[in-house]
Structure 1
Amino acid sequence: MDVDIAEIAFYFTIVAFVFWETISPRRVLLQPTWLRWFNHFLLFLLNSFIYRWLAVGAFVVSDWYLAVQPWGLLNWLPLDDISLFIIGFLALDFWAYIKHRLFHAVPMLWRLHRVHHSDLDIDVFTSFRAHPAAMLVDNGLSIAFYYLLGTSPELILTYIAVVSCYDLFTHANIKIPAPIESLLSRLLITPDKHRVHHSIDYKEGNSNYSTIFVCWDKLFNTYTPEPALGVDAEVVGVKGFNGATEVWLPAMLSQPFRAASSSPVSTAKPQTTDTP
């Protein structure tokens, strides 16, 4: 997939979901939208700068090596290109599931990843809320898997482009008609299903790790169909990091190095635990 086309599709997807959220929101948001969007966009710009000059360089080297000297598991399979592409795409999505579980299970990685989870509202701009260090670790793990799997540069670029747009979808605060939601969620992670993963409840927050295909959660018994409190009453965030100031860029960048706050939370809804 051409990089320019992928970027155009990404920004078009942002505009489309912002419009959808505006005319048909799924939940009432707690914080001022302009404040969240402004700070999340600043974080997005910072991550984009780092990604372009560091991570992309590593991807280019990786792509070149895999193209010049292909090796890895996929190159051992006597299958046609289409079959290898499908298997490779599924393998990358499975690896995304494994990585996500690692970021919740390993304390150091959770400190980085909880920046994403500490958002008190979930909408399309939540997908921008990722700590730069978490992004770099994630990309490093991805590149290591690319070598092991022996993925082609075309497959890597395609998966990254699809996931970038799909991540916007799963975080979007959009209302999907119940019959369509029921149909989609049999195969895919939908916004309602992913929002469960952002729950402040320990058990719910440790479920629904899948990125695109829901089969990984169902296969490893980490699937929760809906929050116990219901969609409208579900509380999202991380206890101890749900103060009103956590929306600001400096707070997001410093959060992995701070202890949980004991100050009153910014919402009157019930809280449980800050364990991932």
Structure 2
Amino acid sequence: MDALIGQLQQTQSIVAVTGLVLLLLIEHIHPFFDFFHGSIKKKGIHLLANMTLGITNAVITSVFFAVAWLWAASWANTHDFGILNWLDLPVWAHAVGAVLLMDTWMYWWHVMNHKLPFFWRFHRVHHADPNMDVTTASRFHTGEIIFSSILRIPVIMLIGLHLWELLIYGTLLVVVVQFHHANIALPEKLDKMLRAVIVTPAMHKVHHSRWQPETDSNYTSLFSFWDRINSTFRLHDPLETISMGLDEFDSEEDQQVKGLFTMPFREGEEKKDK
């Protein structure tokens, strides 16, 4: 089991790096929005700021929370605790249930980040990116990651997750989250087919709209059907007319590393109720 967990951890890291590089290349060759007008310098500054947050968060979760998640999963399974353990499912059904229940949690955690003002102060760092691309998938304030990581401990126990199931979910999540944040667009028929199951670029661009009714829609991270079930699914046509970001955090300072880290603790130029 230790060998499997190590292999899954390595796979998750390789998938994350490969996805980032590949999508950056595709965005460079054929971007949907010409955010940087061909300026490598502007794109580099944007990448550096977003990835500084991403790398900081990855280090913090690895050092401080990975062990806690392992303990939570081990405790739940040693004590036969948690929804999936109570159901006494076969291994494959346990794994499928684990992925679905974790994604359900992620949906409601995302809703909480929009609806509760305290959490929104941190989550708005992600939404304040006017140039959403694959690096935006890593642009989450460290405070949000810490809150999410702490809450994940009782969630793991309540679901009755195995650590290897959490790693499988994490790998699937990385792939889809990078994909739907990327500054790309798919042919409409392909996007429509894929978004019957997973979140697509066309779907998630709506979530990053400056218009609040669109911002407060399409909360799902992996499986798109949670939004349909909860009546939070929304599309925007034509997609080219979407303006992304937050009006109150549009300054140059807001897009720099210092601005990203301090954003939850200051007010924007134009206050909006969330």
Q: What TM-score comes out, normalization by structure 1 length?
A: 0.90
User: C-alpha deviations, 1:202-241, integer Å up to 9, x for none?
Assistant: 10000000111111111111110225xx321211111211
CA distance in structure 2 between the partners assigned to 1:67 and 1:149 by the alignment: 10
Work out whether residues 93 and 212 of structure 1, in 8 Å CA contact, stay in contact via their aligned partners in 2: yes
Q: Are residues 1:118 and 2:128 paired? A: yes
Counterpart in the other structure of 1:252: 260
CA distance in structure 2 between the partners assigned to 1:275 and 1:166 by the alignment: 30
Aligned positions of 1:137-152 closer than 5 A: 137-152=147-162
- AA at the equivalent of 1:237: G
CA distance in structure 1 between the partners assigned to 2:273 and 2:214 by the alignment: 11
User: C-alpha deviations, 1:237-273, integer Å up to 9, x for none?
Assistant: 11211112211011001000101114xxxxxxxxxx8
CA distance in structure 2 between the partners assigned to 1:182 and 1:74 by the alignment: 32
Q: Are residues 1:219 and 2:225 paired? A: no
Q: Are residues 1:42 and 2:48 paired? A: no
Q: Are residues 1:209 and 2:215 paired? A: no
Please tell me the root mean square deviation across aligned C-alpha atoms, in Å.
Answer: 1.6
Counterpart in the other structure of 2:175: 165
| Number of equivalenced pairs | 264
CA distance in structure 2 between the partners assigned to 1:86 and 1:129 by the alignment: 28
Work out whether residues 188 and 213 of structure 1, in 8 Å CA contact, stay in contact via their aligned partners in 2: yes
Counterpart in the other structure of 1:232: 240
- AA at the equivalent of 2:19: T
Residue 31 of structure 2: which of 25, 33, 45 is its match?
Answer: 25
SS in 2 for 1:240: helix
CA distance in structure 1 between the partners assigned to 2:167 and 2:260 by the alignment: 29
CA distance in structure 1 between the partners assigned to 2:104 and 2:247 by the alignment: 29
- AA at the equivalent of 1:41: M
Work out whether residues 71 and 147 of structure 1, in 8 Å CA contact, stay in contact via their aligned partners in 2: yes
Runs of 5+ consecutive residues of structure 2 not aligned to the other structure:
none
Structure with greater proportional helix content: 2
Work out whether residues 123 and 144 of structure 2, in 8 Å CA contact, stay in contact via their aligned partners in 1: yes
Work out whether residues 65 and 149 of structure 2, in 8 Å CA contact, stay in contact via their aligned partners in 1: yes
Q: Are residues 1:3 and 2:9 paired? A: yes
Distance 1:141 1:135, change over 3 A: same
- AA at the equivalent of 1:21: E
CA distance in structure 2 between the partners assigned to 1:134 and 1:215 by the alignment: 25
Work out whether residues 128 and 246 of structure 2, in 8 Å CA contact, stay in contact via their aligned partners in 1: yes
Work out whether residues 85 and 160 of structure 2, in 8 Å CA contact, stay in contact via their aligned partners in 1: yes
Q: 4+ residue runs of structure 1 moved beyond 6 angstroms?
A: none
Tell me how far 1:187 sits from its aligned partner: 1.9
Tell me how far 1:70 sits from its aligned partner: 3.1
Runs of 5+ consecutive residues of structure 1 not aligned to the other structure:
263-272
Identity of aligned residues (%): 26
CA distance in structure 1 between the partners assigned to 2:273 and 2:29 by the alignment: 35
SS in 2 for 1:203: helix
Work out whether residues 67 and 153 of structure 1, in 8 Å CA contact, stay in contact via their aligned partners in 2: no
CA distance in structure 2 between the partners assigned to 1:40 and 1:169 by the alignment: 16
CA distance in structure 1 between the partners assigned to 2:180 and 2:272 by the alignment: 23
CA distance in structure 1 between the partners assigned to 2:273 and 2:198 by the alignment: 26
Counterpart in the other structure of 2:92: 82
Work out whether residues 75 and 157 of structure 2, in 8 Å CA contact, stay in contact via their aligned partners in 1: no
Work out whether residues 169 and 191 of structure 1, in 8 Å CA contact, stay in contact via their aligned partners in 2: yes
Tell me how far 1:67 sits from its aligned partner: 4.0
Residue 110 of structure 2: which of 100, 123, 126 is its match?
Answer: 100
Work out whether residues 210 and 247 of structure 2, in 8 Å CA contact, stay in contact via their aligned partners in 1: yes
